[in-house]
Amino acid sequence: MWEKVYQKIDELYDRMVEDRRYLHQYPELSFEEKETSNFICRRYDELGIPYKSNIGGYGLVAKIEGGKPGKTVALRADFDALPIQEENDVPYKSKADGVMHACGHDGHTATLLAVAEAVKEFQDELEGTMVFIHQPAEEYAPGGAKPMIEDGALDGVDAVFGTHLWATTPLHTIEITKDAFMAGTDRFEIIFKGKGGHGAMPHQTKDPVVMTGQAIVELQQIISRRIDPLEPAVLTIGVIESGEAFNVIPDTATLKGTVRYLNKDVQEQIIDEMHKVLKGITDSYGAEYELDYFKGYPPVINHDRETDFYLEGGTEIPGIDTVTDVPPVMGGEDFAYYLEERPGTYFFTGANIEGHDYPHHHPKFNINEKALPIAAKALLHGYKKYQKA
């Protein structure tokens, strides 16, 4: 059966590209993906595959029950875009001002739709039940995975698999690892509450701008001097906001940033150390601070057996020549929530366009569309192997 399914996927290549490019032209931000969800629903209507929509928001869960007994395995694709102005000069450039599929989710959706269409043709020969999870709002925590799970997306599911088209990884390659594969991703906002005044009379103020300068340096020392160097962690300041005039010391200053970690104990240690640093700085100025710390996605923790399907047998997948056991990536993914509930694994499918090495979330990000059928077959590999496990 599987050889026939793979052949069908190859025959659907033009349709996959068409779907991907259509979605690329009409991107929608997290929690706003109404038309994208409708597009997916229409495709399942055309295919005659039963589904439920509005799962945990704009999410959609479709299902193909095979003609032979077996396990129930879910495959997941996300479909939201990012607030980025596209700079690619391509015929399918985004038509939405300031919104772009700069992470490949358009390709993920096209891939999973092709899997559904190919498998539907051979439904009577399928062992088990294949579940298709189309998820909104991956890009912005609290994300779409958790509400979909709470709304029943994993009910009756035995295992779950997902892939990310990875634009900086060569075509014909899978990257994966056991245990922690992607980081937990938090964000924070720090407000320094000082006392403003004239820039010529700093002694009469409690300068929050100076406090931010000290904080930027000292917060970095949490990672370099207080966290075990064998524990991966990142603390990055991305935003500094303060003042409106060059000769006025403002009352407040704000820092915004992100924390990444693989070990939840390290997460708690970083939060505790941040409070110590900020209290020390503000106490020395007779000022105050406010730390708003938002715990985002947990780390993506791959399960050993399901990961071995790829580490030990990934080159069986048509189009895959290399499977690389890679170090964890400090980017995040709310696929983590599925893996907290069910066994499974998450991996990268190489989608690099040779000579076009722009990373994810870049205005010139793009994927090699030849990776679409490869990713489809790679997802099916997990399903197939789990039926025999």
Residue 142 preceded by cis peptide, ω within 30: yes
Total count of residues recorded for the chain: 389
Query: What per-residue confidence (pLDDT) applies to 4?
Result: 98
Q: Compute the half-sphere exposure of residue 377: CA atoms within 13 Å on the CB side of its CA.
A: 30
Query: What per-residue confidence (pLDDT) applies to 18?
Result: 98
138 belongs to the catalytic site? yes
Token pair for 172: 């014909």
Q: Binding site for Mn(2+): what residues are annotated? A: 103, 105, 139, 164, 361
Q: Using 50, 70 and 90 to split pLDDT, how confident is the model at 133?
A: very high
Q: Please pick, among 117, 138, 175, 333, the residue that the annotation labels catalytic.
A: 138
Which domains occur in the chain, in start order? 2-182+299-388 (3.40.630.10), 184-296 (3.30.70.360)
| DSSP code string of 216-268 | HHHHHHIIIIIS-TTS-EEEEEEEEE--SSTTEE-SEEEEEEEEEESSHHHHH
Q: Please pick, among 19, 28, 80, 207, the residue that the annotation labels catalytic.
A: 80
Mean pLDDT of the 299-313 span: 98
Residue 118 exposed, middle or buried by CB count within 10 Å (0-12, 13-18, 19+): buried
Query: What per-residue confidence (pLDDT) applies to 158?
Result: 98
369 belongs to the catalytic site? no
What percent of the chain is modeled with pLDDT above 90?
100
The pLDDT tens digits of the residues spanning 206-227 come to 999 999 999 999 999 999 999 9
The pLDDT tens digits of the residues spanning 246-286 come to 999 999 999 999 999 999 999 999 999 999 999 999 999 99
Query: What per-residue confidence (pLDDT) applies to 100?
Result: 98
Q: Using 50, 70 and 90 to split pLDDT, how confident is the model at 140?
A: very high
Mean pLDDT of the 81-106 span: 98
Spatial distance between the Cα atoms of 95 and 85, rounded to a whole number of angstroms:
10
Query: What per-residue confidence (pLDDT) applies to 126?
Result: 98
- In three state form, how does the secondary structure of 74-116 look? EEEEECCEECCCCCCCCCCCCCCCCCECCCCHHHHHHHHHHHH
Query: What per-residue confidence (pLDDT) applies to 119?
Result: 98
The pLDDT tens digits of the residues spanning 174-201 come to 999 999 999 999 999 999 999 999 999 9
Query: What per-residue confidence (pLDDT) applies to 189?
Result: 98
